[in-house]
Amino acid sequence: MHAPLLAKMTNADSSARMLKSTVMTLAAAFVLVMIAAVAVVFAITDSANRIEAERQRDRIEAAIESQIRLRQLRIETLASTGQLQAVFNSAMPRQLLQLAFNRFSKGFADVEGAYVVTAAGQVLAGVENGEPAGQTGYDGLKRLSAALPGSPLAANREGPGRPRQPFIVFDGHELLALMSVELSSMQGAGEDQDGLSLVGYRRITPSFLKGLADLYRINELRITARMPDDPLLRREIDSPQGPARAWLTWSPERPGEAMIRQFFWALLGVGVVFAAILVLAVHRLRAAAAEIGLRERQIQRLAGQDELSLLPNRRTFDLRLDQELAQLGRNGSGLAVLLLDLDRFKAVNDTYGHTAGDELIRQVAERLSGMMRRGDTVARLGGDEFGIIQTLAAAPDDAAALGERILESLTRPFAIMGVETTVGCSIGIALAPRDGEDRETLLRLADTALYQSKNEGRNRYSFFESRMNRSLQLKRLVEEDLRKAIANDELVLHYQPQVSIDGSTIVGVEALVRWPHPVHGLVPPSDFIGIAEERGLIVPLSDWVLRRACIEAKRWDGIRLAVNVSAIQFRHKDFVANVMRIVRETGFDPSRLELELTEGVVVDDADAAENAMMDLRGHGVGLALDDFGTGYSSLIYLRRFAFDKIKIDRSFLEYMETTGESAILVHSIAHLGRALGLRVCAEGVETAEQHRFLQAIGCHELQGFLFSKGVTAAEIDTLLTLKAPFAATLAAA
């Protein structure tokens, strides 16, 4: 996955999270501010309402008190006239009192009713609405007779001529305001006239209450028999007749509501502004979420797709293979798993560059996709490796036919950067359920078959066979045992002598590693060197061989030690440093060490190889070109690289006749080496005739079974003690 895409996705995620966090913070802050504002507003309005309710209560009570007090003053004024007091303090008969009181009736017009009452509650005279009251059946008398017994009038004695406090009572129908002033207690008053009072009353009617409310700008005043909840909105009225009670109540002024109406628009404006900001933020958040969703889908697609070839990647390939294997038992059909590697992909990369390699991968992917049936899957597993799931492959012939089509398609030339390039491929095939029914097994077996195709010459396909599995198991066994053998110093070295051209003197030895396996016996290098290279053991193995050979060869003065170097070991970045470290640690003379390299060692990276070889020669280490004559560019290497010796490959001597083409080639190689100042050594010398021929053409050294096979270090010790170690052998030949 591209780093920029990851960065953009990370930035988008970060921005979205930041935006979301900001929106949530703003929303929370707004909600808290709104809650606080509403709470403050309601607290202020409630306080304002309470204050106004108290003021209204005070005004109402003051208004009622004022109206009653006006009547009380009127009663007091009339009661204070000497004429009125003289009439009722005289010995005038009772039946004449009303007639005498009539002349005062006009003075009580605004009181509604006024009566002269004894302490026992007996009415002596009265006025109703400014007119003289009759003797019986008058409303005022009934009301007074109901209100007076046990009322504050009876107990409110403050002294002669003193007014009693006015009060309000509820008689079950309406409110009455009662006022009284004491008239008696003047000298000469009769006994039955003791405790006379001038009593006035005023009905508090709804119209009266409305007038008060209008006068003092108080909301509706009303009488109710149900006690209001708020004590600030009620005034209790006692009833002289017992439990019946009434309440004077009103609708309070609510300045807080006006404040709320004012604050409402302010809060509404703030809310609208915030809502607009919130909507914008939510819009941005949704846009960011949509973008992130799109990117996530792209990432998921890329997570399941190879970016270069646009084919499914290994992860998707594994998932689809698992899905197809799960269907095997249901549909009863089989499937084939094909793994393929391009044969010359590395050469294209090295020759034309990675851009050309990428283009080749894309074109291969396009050709493979065009050959797939519906339901089949082709994926790029990595590098130049591709995987194919062929469904409904009931027989091996179906997979074989697909393999043929792939080989035919991929061997056709590719146009890469204006140049036609030809590559091939190697294919390994495993079948399910024949070879296995789980993904790991099928991929492992297909990979084994793929390596079989490579080992058999490439550009072919191979089905997995059980013998391959046994070979794979053997390789694993060899790998595990070889790793232990290297770590436990269980390997041994044999040495094959390199003799002078006359065959009389040992001038050098070639170290050959052997593995005495506890089960399989003495294992030759050909059986485990390749495995060591495949499994990454060649470097520790080569280091072990060099170290042991230097230790054992130190005692052979004047004898060169030849050690083979693998291509993997030579390409290691610390190769020269490792060689010189081992030489120093063992105390071996570097001028006696000769490293044998093949053309394959230097062909891949000639510049790096040349630098390494010059470094080795600078330390005195000799270099030999092994298997000379088998490559196609040996002369180029001889001119460029500073070899000390060339070794003629044994294949030239195996079927050589002294007058044949092989003899001519060997003769030419020997003369070429001598002309370049190089020592020439022939390998694989097994007959006296070969010995005489090589001696005649001017070779310097010989190596082969004619003289000795690879022997132990102890046997080399013995051979070096002999003056002519191979005289008997040469004589017999």
Instruction: Quote the pLDDT of residue 701.
Output: 94
3-state SS assignment for residue 514: strand
Q: What is the distance between the alpha carbons of residues 567 and 542, in angstroms, rounded to a whole number? A: 11
Q: What is the distance between the alpha carbons of residues 288 and 83, in angstroms, rounded to a whole number? A: 101
How many residues are present in the chain?
Answer: 733
Instruction: Quote the pLDDT of residue 589.
Output: 95
Instruction: Quote the pLDDT of residue 153.
Output: 46
Instruction: Quote the pLDDT of residue 89.
Output: 67
Instruction: Quote the pLDDT of residue 506.
Output: 94
DSSP H helical ranges for 304-379 = 314-326, 328-331, 345-352, 354-370
For β-strands 425-432 and 335-342, DSSP reports them as antiparallel
Q: What is the distance between the alpha carbons of residues 440 and 387, in angstroms, rounded to a whole number? A: 13
Instruction: Quote the pLDDT of residue 634.
Output: 57
Instruction: Quote the pLDDT of residue 154.
Output: 44
Strand partners, 562: 510, 594
Instruction: Quote the pLDDT of residue 296.
Output: 66
- CA nearest neighbour of 162 among 189, 179, 181: 181
Residue ranges of the chain with per-residue pLDDT less than 50: 1-7, 9, 135-138, 146-161, 185-193, 244
Q: What is the distance between the alpha carbons of residues 425 and 342, in angstroms, rounded to a whole number? A: 4
Torsion of CA 214, 219, 222, 227, to 10 degrees: -150
Domains 314-464 and 476-728 share a fold: no
pTM of the model: 0.47
Contact between residue 581 and residue 554 where contact means Cβ atoms under 8 Å apart: no
Instruction: Quote the pLDDT of residue 139.
Output: 56
Is it true that the peptide bond before 524 is cis, omega within 30 degrees of 0? no
Q: What is the distance between the alpha carbons of residues 205 and 208, in angstroms, rounded to a whole number? A: 5
Extract the runs of DSSP E, i.e. beta strands, from 524-613. Answer: 560-564, 593-597
Q: Name the CA radius of gyration of the chain, rounded.
A: 63
What's the CATH number for 314-464?
A: 3.30.70.270
Q: What is the distance between the alpha carbons of residues 459 and 427, in angstroms, rounded to a whole number? A: 8
Contact between residue 327 and residue 29 where contact means Cβ atoms under 8 Å apart: no
For the chain, give every domain's residue range.
52-250, 314-464, 476-728
Instruction: Quote the pLDDT of residue 299.
Output: 64
Tokens 């708020």, located at residue = 230
Instruction: Quote the pLDDT of residue 685.
Output: 92
Instruction: Quote the pLDDT of residue 151.
Output: 45
Q: Domain 476-728 falls in which CATH fold?
A: TIM Barrel (3.20.20)
Q: What is the distance between the alpha carbons of residues 226 and 238, in angstroms, rounded to a whole number? A: 14
Q: What is the distance between the alpha carbons of residues 376 and 335, in angstroms, rounded to a whole number? A: 10
Count CB-CB contacts under 10 A for residue 273: 11
Instruction: Quote the pLDDT of residue 5.
Output: 45
Instruction: Quote the pLDDT of residue 681.
Output: 94
- CA nearest neighbour of 497 among 653, 729, 197: 729
Q: What is the distance between the alpha carbons of residues 406 and 400, in angstroms, rounded to a whole number? A: 10
